[in-house]
A and B are shown apart, each in its own frame.
Chain A
Amino acid sequence: MTHFSKDIIQLQNVEAVVNEIVQKLRDDVLQKLRRLGAVVGISGGIDSSVCLALAVKAFGSEKVMGIMMPERDSNPDSERLARELALKLRVKAVKEDITAALIGSRCYERRDEAVKRIFPEYDPGTYTMKIGLKETGLFNYLPPVFHLTIIDKEQVIHEKILPVKEYLQIVAASNFKQRTRMSILFYHAELLHYAVIGTPNKHEQEQGFFVKYGDGAADVMPICNLYKTQVYQLADYLGIPKEIVERTPTTDTYSAEQTQEEFFYQLPFDLMDLYWYGFENGYPAKEVAEVMGETTDRVEALFRNFDRKRKTTEYLRMQPIRDYFGV
């Protein structure tokens, strides 16, 4: 096994990787799925931008459609950047505002009802809100706990630990967003006899940072084996605009600004990539710790947390269990 090092996950030949992915994407969509092209949900983030560019390489811009699906809590930058990318790649971009659908499914109402039980003063008209993890559990055995944050119009932050009932209600209600987007993507895909390209990267897939049957639903997921470092290498090769590449990855799910690191990962992506690589390839904690300038104890605790995260999110990756009779 190669010695663990800080550049161990760097792709040596990005062009060859892109060509391999593009060829497989073509084979899968055109031959296996027998679809004519691809639909990609575009958010102005790096993952969806790379997927759109890969799809254009695979099928040509005339056989790819980019769909922007903002809602009332979305950052306007998301639509602007997505539109600019579509223009650059000469892809048809369609905007589907999903706010009305979310009002219809009472997404905001159900979420805000739970927020008000914790902060009775919360008014969605004047406050913004988000939920996220505090850095409690990554380097010790205690799992992280979700906190609810509301920010008033004077930008004063109020924060509390989220009790389980409210946590579940906020997450269940918010998941309408990803599931509504999934429905829109499949609508357009079926309309054109195209396939839906899923945009999760390796961490999202393996650590369960996706909504089951929401953004976790797609026909193909071309970058789900790539570390974020590698996605950035592909973005550079594919000429993704600098503003998208330099944008901090956000959840763009709650009304308050929130990075993915704050919401879920608790580590910057470059460190997360290296630790995860060490963990999943069976490198001894001691070797990883030496390279990363950490203690072996802390890296062992981190690996145990990764293991727990992978196990506890297994449900999200499972297909429906079908073997009930006649097996």
Chain B
Amino acid sequence: MIENQTIKKRVRDYLVQATFAGHDKIKDDSLIFKEGYFDSMGFITLITFIEEEFGVKTVDADLVEENFESVNAISDFIIRKTP
């Protein structure tokens, strides 16, 4: 299984690149949707990234803020959903 820190780094790098925000803006606990870094298109791109990069498929029941609100939340979600 990939280590938590590796997942966090890959998620963080992806978010920095996808949102055009600097590394100083996207911290592990930054609330990416609440703070307006990500819109609807950003969200479906993120869902696709999670599936392609980690093999984790998002289903309807997963579409809650707690799973996607920050780097920490997304990493936890990926770990939880990884068989």
Contacts and interface: CB of A to CB of B under 8 A. Distances in A.
Interface of A: 134, 136-137, 140-146, 161-165, 167, 304, 308, 311-312
A167 B43 CA distance: 12
A134 B64 CA distance: 12
A312 B44 contact: no
Contact of B63 (A134, A165, A304): A134
B70 to A, nearest CB: 11
B59 A161 contact: yes
Interface stretch (B21-29, B34-42, B75-83): B34-42
Contacts of A134: 60, 63
B58 interface: yes
Contacts of B42: 143
Contacts of B48: 163-165
A142 B44 contact: no
A162 B63 contact: no
B43 A161 contact: no
A164 B58 CA distance: 13
Contact of A308 (B39, B47, B51, B58): B39
A146 B40 CA distance: 9
Contacts of B41: 164, 312
A143 B64 CA distance: 10
A136 B33 CA distance: 13
Given A163-B51, A167-B44, A143 B63 contact: no
The 4 closest A-B pairs by CB, nearest first: A143-B40, A141-B33, A312-B39, A141-B34
Contact of A146 (B38, B44, B58, B69): B44
B31 A145 contact: no
A143 B60 contact: no
Contacts of A163: 44, 47-48, 51
Contacts of A312: 39-41
Contact of B65 (A141, A161, A164, A167): A141
9 contacts: A141-B69, A142-B65, A143-B38, A143-B39, A143-B43, A161-B59, A163-B48, A164-B45, A312-B40
A312 B51 CA distance: 24
A285 to B, nearest CB: 15
Interface string B45-66: 1011001000000111001110
B5 to A, nearest CB: 25
A137 B44 contact: no
A320 to B, nearest CB: 21
Residue from B33, B38, B40 having most chain A Cβ neighbours under 10 A? B40
Contacts of A144: 40
Residue from A134, A308, A311 having most chain B Cβ neighbours under 10 A? A308
Contacts of B51: 163
A225 to B, nearest CB: 25
Contacts of B60: 134, 161
A254 B10 CA distance: 37
Given A136-B64, A141-B33, A142-B69, 14 more contacts: A134-B60, A137-B40, A141-B34, A142-B33, A142-B63, A142-B64, A143-B33, A143-B43, A145-B44, A161-B58, A163-B44, A164-B45, A164-B48, A312-B41
A162 B58 CA distance: 10
Contact of A145 (B33, B47, B65, B69): B47
Nearest to B42: A143
A4 B38 CA distance: 31
Contact of A140 (B38, B47, B59, B65): B65
Contact of B31 (A137, A141, A143, A161): A141
